[in-house]
Amino acid sequence: MSIVPLLAQSAFEPETVEFLVAVYETAWKRVEQSGSTLASPAYRRAAQELLAKRIIEDAQRGEHDAKVLADDAVSFLQRSYA
């Protein structure tokens, strides 16, 4: 799953889209490296979508720090679904 289709529905500038794609990729790598069951084939697609949506929501609320965006999205995913 890519974050790009979800961003296509937003009003972000192209530079912001590139930035959010990079944040998403960083956050997803952290989920995979954590060994979480959310990265397993059974849960991967849903977990990726939730992660992407959280990043987009935070960015829409005005967060622009890549580390904060990634940390919050991973933490949200782990708190809510792990």
Distances (CA, A) of 51 to 21, 37: 11, 14
| Residues near 32 by beta carbon (within 8 Å), at least 6 away in sequence | 39
Q: What is the pTM of this model?
A: 0.87
pLDDT for 81 equals 81
In sequence order, which ranges of the chain are alpha helices (DSSP H)? 4-7, 14-33, 44-60, 66-81
How far is Cα 82 from Cα 77, in angstroms, rounded to an integer?
7
Per residue in 2-29, pLDDT (tens digit) is: 676 776 667 788 899 899 999 999 999 9
- Return the DSSP state at 37: G
Residue at token pair 């890549």: 66
